Amino acid sequence: MTEYDQHPNQRGYQQYDQRGYQQYDQQQQQQVQQRATILERGRAVRLMRNGDPYFPGRTFLINQKRYPMLEVFLDDASQTLRANFGAVRCIYTPKHGTRLNDISDFEDHRTYVASGGERFKKLQ
């Protein structure tokens, strides 16, 4: 019998631990799922100026990559809106004036009101 006729296990082939590969595969799947939630589809929102009924609003596309925190979005909104109250410091819902505290509070295709230091002004 030659060395080529031997069984693969006898020729020095190593037996790979299948459990190790399964565990690695599960970790890879979990990482892919986490990346999918982080890099979610962007949310399109319209931002209005507080107390300005004639302002048509500006549309923003909010995603995790561009705006990782609310403060980054507020800075960009301040530059884009050029409001008479100065820097945008608060974002409110237009119906009830509920203040948004996190970037994840934004909902897709909704309108919000940008405000400076003053309180929310409801339009009639």
pLDDT value of position 20: 56
- pLDDT > 80? residue 18: no
Number of domains in the chain: 1
Could you tell me if residue 2 is inside a domain? no
User: Tell me: the pLDDT tens digits for 31-79?
Assistant: 656 555 544 678 999 999 998 889 999 999 999 889 989 999 999 999 9
In a domain, 73, yes or no: yes
Do the domain assignments include residue 33? no
DSSP helix/strand/coil, 4: coil
> How distant, in Å, are the alpha carbons of 48, 100, 101 from that of 123?
11, 19, 22
User: Which CATH number fits the domain that encloses residue 64?
Assistant: 3.10.20.230
8 lies in some domain = no
Give me the pLDDT at residue 77, please: 94
Q: Note the pLDDT of residue 110.
A: 94
Choice between 18 and 29, residue whose per-residue pLDDT is larger: 29
pLDDT at 21: 60
The Cα-based distances of 65 to 39, 44, 61, 88, 94 in angstroms read 7, 14, 11, 21, 26
Domain extent for 88: 43-115
Is 5 contained in some domain? no
Measured between alpha carbons, how far is 24 from 63 in angstroms, rounded to an integer? Answer: 30
pLDDT tens per residue, range 75-112: 999 999 988 888 999 999 999 899 999 998 999 999 99
Residue 55 lies in a domain: yes
Is 65 part of any domain?
Answer: yes
Q: Which amino acid, 91?
A: I
C-alpha angle 119/76/71, rounded to 5°?
65
Domain-located, residue 100:
yes
